């Protein structure tokens, strides 16, 4: 690797060596060639274009579809001392003009843009008048019509090849399959693109899939081992999201709901809190996740089954971007299978489409019932061969017991058949177990030959067996799709006695919460805990002051290395991976002080909140509170607004505004249509008269009133 690239890596980013194929990609792009980069989440795609951008002269243009993602990267680069900006629709016209001028003066190194903005003729024109270092096209799979994330604007990016023939372009994605890959090259008109493919394995993720019995209890047991960790709990329906979130809160977990049915503002607020605070649990539908770049998500738990392995891989992939141990945990049961199969049957769409979806669901189910290494199975689906079992999934660690279910399976299939192929598992169980209840009697099913033949097995074993029969396609959901079971073609050999059937023995729930010995929450040993918390508290304080998420100051991996290597001087601190020159200068001393035990641990946010409310109630102004708590005024306002929203403070307690002015602001908020405008929307109108923070507070009070 050429020296300059390594120097940039060390000086700016604070890392010692490149990972995987990063250095090859960088060499290619820095040398002016086009590249297609496929790397899993957390693989380190950003450096693949950020380093060449710094090596080449001119402006680097980065296309990204998600505003949240752009802001995150811009903030991260800002902390590293790299001049980066994002142009997006949330900026005022004035702000946009200023950015354009800065760019023209050559003061900006990286420009982040949404695709639709880049392809505007005015923008292309503007860029053609400048020296361009490279174009990076992130989330490049959005150009594919086959994927879920298709964005028509991406198709227009092909014209960059003609408009900027000498500028290298690099397309990046974490989507694996071959068809998408070739579509990207073709549609983006990449010239002789060199393809850089990496393994899609995520070695730091521990996979576990358990049989669903009492899902709340199981989830609780799982979470009990992960106190203080941030994670995502995925549920299928909005209703369930709300219920599970409420349940977790009642159990003392810091959980927030997220789904598309919540008001936009609330959703945005929850997402922001998830990014900015530590240890929050987001209970969410799949509406949550796209563009969540939080590197220290320690677990992803599924309470419902994803529709495909692609979805499962993507959702679980949100855990452990930072490369530290993380868990992917799922509870899965018969109801999941039935529900998804029913949804599939009832969905519109042509037969071909349904068959594809069915095929995808079958692959997902096969992973759930897998008796060999889960990682091998998962990667095999993406055409990647892992020669040895991974040793880092439940099946590898616990081993899998199977049992011969040939005879009970025949009994079960025969119960389905003889009762007319229309009843659900509950009723079939009554028949097999010989429970002569009212429903059984009214149907005359106590006279069936299979009545009571299944007493050798318990109810949960039967359920497990039915689940596996459906998962393997030996039984199917009935055509009306109400959850009744019918036989499928493929069960005939079994019924005729030509084949036998081995199935998984489900583990008892108490075994199913544990992860590997390197459980994520055991990142830090007990004796290190105190200093770890002190480092995190300092990071949190700095993050609040800078208005960025904590991981933008330093990722967990860097804090962990500080903890382990205990640097005792600035040069030693500079050796820690992730501490670049700029961060060393800005933060080195503060973190050294915490390690040396000199500085008192800064106040944590929870304490600040508490104190702030008392001070406001006692009549202090925001400025006085900021002085007292030693934090910025902006933060005081944000926390005040939060407290008002939760009705812990009244507006009068928080602010001291002349009644007239207050009335005027309230009118301005209520002037619009149904929805309250954002504080930012009114900022210009009141600029010079009140600080933005006042608007946050007034808005929070109105919102709280409107909600009751």
The CA-to-CA distance between both ends of the chain, in Å, stands at 62
Strands 110-113 vs 59-63: parallel, antiparallel or unpaired? parallel
Nearer to ligand ADP, 43 or 483 (CB): 43
Phi, psi at 700, each rounded to 5°:
-60, -40
The CB-based long-range contact list for 192-196 (8 Å cut-off, 24+ gap) reads 192/33, 192/34, 193/34, 193/35, 193/36, 194/28, 194/33, 194/34, 194/35, 194/36, 195/35, 195/36, 195/38, 196/21, 196/24, 196/25, 196/28, 196/35, 196/36, 196/37, 196/38, 196/39
Residue 253 and residue 223 in contact, taking contact as beta carbons nearer than 8 Å: yes
The torsion defined by the Cα of 113, 114, 119 and 125, in degrees rounded to 10, comes to: -20
Least distance between Zn ion and beta carbon 41 (Å): 19
Pick one of 322, 430, 561, 642: the residue that binds ligand ADP (CB under 6 A).
322
Nearer to ligand ADP, 232 or 334 (CB): 232
Residue 441 and residue 381 in contact, taking contact as beta carbons nearer than 8 Å: no
Is there binding between residue 45 and ligand ADP (CB under 6 A)? yes
Selected range binding ligand ADP among 44-52, 306-314, 615-623, 642-650, rule: CB under 6 A: 44-52
Least distance between Zn ion and beta carbon 404 (Å): 24
Residue 663 and residue 652 in contact, taking contact as beta carbons nearer than 8 Å: no
Nearer to Zn ion, 206 or 551 (CB): 206
Is there binding between residue 144 and ligand ADP (CB under 6 A)? no
Is there binding between residue 18 and ligand ADP (CB under 6 A)? yes
The torsion defined by the Cα of 541, 545, 550 and 556, in degrees rounded to 10, comes to: -60
Question: Of these partners, Zn ion, ligand ADP, none, which one is at the site of residue 211 (CB under 5 to 8 Å by kind)?
Answer: none
Distances (CA, A) of 682 to 266, 639, 655, 664, 689: 19, 20, 18, 12, 12
Least distance between ligand ADP and beta carbon 536 (Å): 16
Phi, psi at 499, each rounded to 5°:
-130, 160
Pick one of 30, 43, 423, 701: the residue that binds ligand ADP (CB under 6 A).
43
Q: Give the HSE-up count for residue 198: Cα atoms under 13 Å, Cβ half-sphere.
A: 25
Pick one of 44, 147, 231, 550: the residue that binds ligand ADP (CB under 6 A).
44
Is there binding between residue 576 and ligand ADP (CB under 6 A)? no
Distances (CA, A) of 296 to 213, 340, 515, 520, 581: 29, 31, 17, 10, 23
Question: Of these partners, ligand ADP, Zn ion, none, which one is at the site of residue 43 (CB under 5 to 8 Å by kind)?
Answer: ligand ADP
Is there binding between residue 141 and ligand ADP (CB under 6 A)? no
Least distance between ligand ADP and beta carbon 570 (Å): 21
The Cα 366–Cα 371 span in angstroms is 9
Pick one of 5, 8, 12, 15: the residue that binds ligand ADP (CB under 6 A).
15
Residue 469 Cα to chain centre, angstroms: 32
Pick one of 109, 298, 321, 699: the residue that binds ligand ADP (CB under 6 A).
321
Interaction residues for ligand ADP, span 367-426 (CB under 6 A): none
- Angle of helix 351-368 relative to helix 374-381, nearest 10 degrees, comes to 160
Least Cα distance to 502 among 429, 389, 594, 403 occurs for 403
Is there binding between residue 42 and ligand ADP (CB under 6 A)? yes
Question: Of these partners, ligand ADP, Zn ion, none, which one is at the site of residue 393 (CB under 5 to 8 Å by kind)?
Answer: Zn ion
Nearer to Zn ion, 368 or 613 (CB): 368
Exposure string for 311-329, b = 16+ CB within 10 A, e = fewer: bbbbbbbbbbbbbbbbbbb
Pick one of 65, 231, 289, 295: the residue that binds ligand ADP (CB under 6 A).
295
Question: Of these partners, Zn ion, ligand ADP, none, which one is at the site of residue 390 (CB under 5 to 8 Å by kind)?
Answer: Zn ion
The Cα 578–Cα 558 span in angstroms is 6
Is there binding between residue 7 and ligand ADP (CB under 6 A)? no
Is there binding between residue 39 and ligand ADP (CB under 6 A)? yes
Question: Of these partners, Zn ion, ligand ADP, none, which one is at the site of residue 15 (CB under 5 to 8 Å by kind)?
Answer: ligand ADP
Q: Nearest-5° angle of CA 283, CA 538, CA 582?
A: 105
Question: Of these partners, ligand ADP, Zn ion, none, which one is at the site of residue 396 (CB under 5 to 8 Å by kind)?
Answer: Zn ion
The Cα 173–Cα 141 span in angstroms is 6
Nearer to ligand ADP, 28 or 45 (CB): 45
Pick one of 26, 36, 41, 612: the residue that binds ligand ADP (CB under 6 A).
41
Residue 384 DSSP SS3: coil
Least distance between ligand ADP and beta carbon 45 (Å): 3
The Cα 53–Cα 60 span in angstroms is 6
Is there binding between residue 198 and ligand ADP (CB under 6 A)? no
The Cα 702–Cα 306 span in angstroms is 39
Binding interface with Zn ion (CB under 5 A) = 373, 375, 389-390, 393, 396
Is there binding between residue 19 and ligand ADP (CB under 6 A)? yes
Q: How many residues bind ligand ADP (CB under 6 A)?
A: 17
Nearer to Zn ion, 320 or 483 (CB): 320
Question: Of these partners, ligand ADP, Zn ion, none, which one is at the site of residue 424 (CB under 5 to 8 Å by kind)?
Answer: none
Residue 643 DSSP SS3: helix
Least distance between ligand ADP and beta carbon 174 (Å): 6
Least Cα distance to 680 among 662, 661, 663, 695 occurs for 695
Residue 402 DSSP SS3: strand
The interface mask with ligand ADP, positions 596-635, x = CB under 6 A, is ----------------------------------------
Nearer to ligand ADP, 25 or 665 (CB): 25
Interaction residues for ligand ADP, span 153-172 (CB under 6 A): none
Nearer to Zn ion, 89 or 388 (CB): 388
Question: Of these partners, Zn ion, ligand ADP, none, which one is at the site of residue 375 (CB under 5 to 8 Å by kind)?
Answer: Zn ion
Binding residues for ligand ADP, rule: CB under 6 A, are 15, 18-19, 22, 39, 41-47, 295, 321-322, 555, 577
């Amino acid at each position: 690797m050429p020296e300059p690239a390594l120097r940039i890596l060390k000086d700016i980013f604070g890392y010692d060596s490149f990972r995987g194929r990063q250095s090859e990609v960088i060499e290619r792009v820095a040398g002016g060639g086009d590249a297609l980069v496929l790397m899993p989440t957390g693989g380190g795609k950003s450096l693949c274009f950020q380093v060449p951008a710094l090596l080449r002269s001119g402006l680097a243009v980065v296309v990204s579809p998600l505003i949240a993602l752009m802001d995150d990267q811009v903030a991260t680069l800002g902390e590293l001392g790299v001049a980066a900006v994002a142009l997006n629709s949330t900026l005022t016209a004035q702000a946009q003009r200023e950015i354009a001028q800065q760019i023209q003066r050559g003061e900006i190194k990286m420009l982040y843009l949404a695709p639709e903005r880049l392809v505007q003729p005015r923008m292309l024109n503007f860029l053609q008048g400048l020296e361009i270092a490279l174009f990076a096209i992130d989330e490049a799979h959005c150009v594919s019509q086959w994927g879920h994330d298709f964005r028509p604007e991406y198709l227009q990016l092909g014209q960059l090849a003609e408009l900027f023939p000498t500028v290298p372009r690099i397309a990046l994605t974490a989507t694996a399959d071959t068809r998408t890959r070739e579509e990207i090259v073709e549609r983006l008109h990449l010239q002789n693109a060199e393809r850089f493919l990496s393994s899609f394995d995520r070695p730091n993720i521990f996979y576990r899939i358990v049989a669903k019995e009492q899902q709340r209890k199981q989830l609780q047991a799982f979470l009990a081992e992960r106190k203080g960790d941030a994670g995502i709990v995925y549920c299928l329906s909005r209703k369930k999201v709300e219920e599970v979130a409420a349940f977790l809160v009642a159990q003392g977990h810091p959980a927030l709901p997220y789904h598309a049915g919540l008001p936009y503002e609330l959703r945005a607020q929850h997402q922001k809190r998830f990014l900015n605070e530590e240890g929050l649990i987001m209970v969410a539908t799949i509406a949550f996740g796209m563009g969540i770049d939080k590197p220290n998500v320690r677990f992803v738990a599924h309470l419902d089954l994803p529709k495909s392995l692609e979805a499962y891989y993507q959702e679980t992939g949100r855990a452990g971007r930072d490369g530290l141990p993380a868990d992917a945990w799922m509870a899965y049961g018969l109801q999941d299978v039935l529900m998804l199969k029913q949804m599939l049957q009832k969905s519109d769409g042509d037969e071909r489409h349904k068959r594809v979806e069915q095929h995808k669901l079958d692959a997902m189910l096969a992973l759930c019932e897998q008796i060999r290494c889960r990682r091998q199975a998962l990667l095999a689906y993406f055409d990647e061969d892992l020669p040895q079992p991974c040793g880092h999934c439940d099946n590898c660690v616990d081993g899998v017991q199977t049992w011969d279910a040939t005879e009970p399976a025949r009994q079960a299939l025969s119960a389905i058949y003889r009762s007319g192929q229309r009843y659900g598992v509950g009723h079939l169980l009554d028949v097999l177990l010989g429970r002569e209840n009212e429903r059984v009697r009214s149907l005359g099913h106590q006279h069936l030959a299979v009545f009571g033949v299944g007493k050798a097995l318990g109810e949960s074993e039967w359920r497990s067996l039915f689940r596996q029969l459906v998962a393997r396609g030996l039984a199917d959901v009935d055509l009306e799709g109400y959850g009744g079971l019918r036989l499928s073609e493929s069960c005939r050999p079994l019924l005729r006695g030509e084949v036998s059937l081995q199935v998984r023995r489900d583990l008892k729930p108490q075994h199913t919460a544990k992860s590997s010995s390197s459980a994520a929450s055991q990142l830090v040993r007990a004796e290190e805990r105190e200093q770890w918390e002190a480092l995190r508290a300092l990071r949190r304080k700095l993050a609040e002051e800078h208005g960025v998420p904590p991981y933008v100051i330093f990722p967990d991996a860097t804090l962990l290395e500080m903890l382990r290597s205990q640097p005792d001087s600035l040069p030693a601190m500079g050796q820690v991976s992730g501490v670049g020159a700029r961060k060393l200068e800005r933060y080195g001393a503060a973190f050294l002080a915490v390690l040396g035990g000199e500085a008192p641990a800064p106040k944590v946010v929870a304490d600040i909140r508490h104190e702030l409310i008392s001070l406001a109630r006692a009549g202090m102004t925001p400025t006085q509170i900021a002085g007292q708590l030693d934090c910025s005024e902006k933060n005081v306002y944000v926390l005040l607004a939060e407290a008002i929203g939760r009705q812990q403070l009244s507006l009068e307690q928080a602010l001291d505004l002349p009644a007239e002015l207050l009335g005027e602001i309230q009118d301005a908020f209520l002037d619009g249509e149904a929805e309250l405008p954002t504080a930012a929307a009114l900022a210009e109108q009141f600029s010079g008269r009140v600080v933005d923070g006042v608007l946050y507070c007034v808005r929070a009070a109105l919102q709280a009133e409107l909600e009751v």
